[in-house]
Structure 1
């Protein structure tokens, strides 16, 4: 029911609950604490649930909770429990940097969370600190192991940034083989707060595959799941799985099924676009659910064919990643 002008059906909703983060990753956050949104401008959990109900009625069947870092928002388990009353808990997931996951894991699992994506760009403390401007690798690794022990479906996401990620590839390959957890490399995108992104800084998915093949031998491509951003490969020599999200060098816009709700209540029909609808205003002005549904359908209908980051006339998004939601 949420179909754009190019026939793409939108069934996946990314919900950002905060623009705050406890790390300062160089490809996302500024080095100094930014001016965050005032609490009063953020959607309440009840407002998020109301919007989600409308979206589900329009065909959305998959929800991922994001940030910033979603676990810095108080009582996130309450939102997870509320979402689990709206759609199948197996279709609810969380993207986190993992620093706070271990301490909140019991409440999150009790609330119904069954799937987490952990953002982790390095497997040695020095490189981790270089990327995040903070320490905490051991906490992230402990969180990953605890989530696995708790029966969570866990994926690990790593940035693919030239002159940094190359040194991590072998370690992540061994990690994937040892843990059997899927590791996905996401090409560095023009969403950094410092505005330093340059195409030359992107470590392409094809180069990652070449380097991994040189180290581990052949990587076998796996069937691509419908709507999935990653192309997965099996490491034949060890059985681990590596995913490539080539959003810059090989855009997969033709298969995009995602819409986003920012923490301050804006619809985003494309990660690289502009805000395309103000939900908060409707929610707080007494509008009925039909008005919200109409806004959502209009935002999806206005979606462009592609995001254009590989085009010479590409204009950087007005917001950095932390204020949009991954």
Structure 2
């Protein structure tokens, strides 16, 4: 079992398989893109399998595959097949922009990988294309509907962006009311390659809730696990639920149970903090299992208590794209 220096059990790993993405969402990276990691500095699939094995052996029970966009890796399914064989790993999930998942939906279902988070920040075509800077609306829409129809546990992640997509908050709730999905609204975080900095946001989780409940006054709060990052609700008459993730307000730090490992091997114990170690050369050297396991224990022994504390590790906090951090 992994326990950090604040007595929090760490059983959830967000494992990035790439820093590359086929979209250029304007809150995530500059329009010209970023300097993506060179191929030889990114974990191979075999190395990712090994890292996963080691951490599951240490007590990780849930792994979420992230990116970049995970499905830009043509060998991703090799990793996912391997993860399904690991004893003690009870939950495998994927976060995706749903542009490339289509050909893999059948196998994902066969493997029992049913938890899919779809990043979708607009339901209107024009807004979607403006935010993503790409023409993938139909593909995303079709794959989303297929995932829902095939019975996947779909959660839509919608980052509320001031001046860009507020007008889509209510329409996406109306559209999804007939489907058993969760629409989760995230506060904006300024991880966008350093092109924007700010100290506060207009659309914090309280403002988002007020906006929704003014239009849908009949709603109830749902019970959520203690480690949940989202505060969850259901509107009367809706099959869907909606959640609020205070990613900027950071109200959930006290129960944080997650660890991040980037595609290049950085170990990140808090999204707002600096990397604490790098596993790549350990994995590629001798005796990797012992070295990686010891490094993970060491990093968790000096973990920041909150995201606000971790933020103090930086001189300039938001100097990386979210795609290189691992989501």
**Same fold judged by TM-score > 0.5?**
yes
Task: Output the CA distance in 2 between the equivalents of 1:111 and 1:313.
Answer: 40
Contact 1:190–1:316 at 8 Å: present in 2 too? no
The aligned counterpart of 1:227 is: 227
The residue number in structure 1 matching 2:254 is: 254
Alpha-carbon distance, 1:220 to partner: 1.2
Could you tell me how far 1:164 is from its partner in structure 2? 2.3
TM-fit CA distance, 1:219 = 2.5
* Structure 1 Cα separation of the partners of residues 299 and 227 of structure 2: 19
* More off after superposition, 100-109 vs 290-299: 100-109
Aligned-partner SS, 2:51: helix
The answer as to whether partners of 2:269 and 2:276 remain within 8 angstroms in 1 is yes
Secondary structure at the counterpart of residue 308 of structure 1? helix
CA distance in 2, matches of 1:129, 1:265: 32
Q: TM-score when scaled to structure 2?
A: 0.94
Conserved 8 A contact 2:274-2:310: no
- The residue number in structure 1 matching 2:321 is 320
Count of paired positions:
326
Alignment match, 1:143: 143
Mapped partners of 1:313, 1:298: distance in 2: 17
Kindly provide the CA deviation profile for residues 264-322 of structure 1, in whole angstroms up to 9, marking residues without a partner as x: 11111111111111111101121341221110011111110111189899741443210
Q: Gapped runs of 5+ residues in structure 1?
A: none
Cα distance in 2 for partners of 1:58, 1:202 equals 41
Partner of 1:182: 182
| Residue 240 of structure 1, CA deviation | 2.7
Whether the 8 Å contact between 1:15 and 1:261 is mirrored in structure 2 is yes
Q: C-alpha separation between the residues in 1 aligned to 2:202 and 2:311?
A: 15
Report the counterpart of residue 216 of structure 1 in structure 2: 216
Give the superposition deviation at 1:157: 0.4
The aligned residue for residue 76 of structure 1 is: 76
Report the CA distance between 1:211 and its aligned residue.
0.9
Post-superposition shift, 1:75?
2.1
Give the RMSD, CA atoms, in angstroms.
2.0
Deviation of 1:230 after TM superposition, in Å, equals: 0.4
1:156-210 Cα shifts (integer Å, max 9, x gaps): 0000222223201111211231223110011111211143142444511111111
Q: Residue 167 of structure 2 corresponds to which residue in structure 1?
A: 167
Aligned to 1:205: 205
Give the Cα separation in 2 of the matches to 1:313 and 1:108.
Answer: 39
Bigger shift: residues 9-18 or 191-200: 191-200
1:118 aligns with 2:109: no
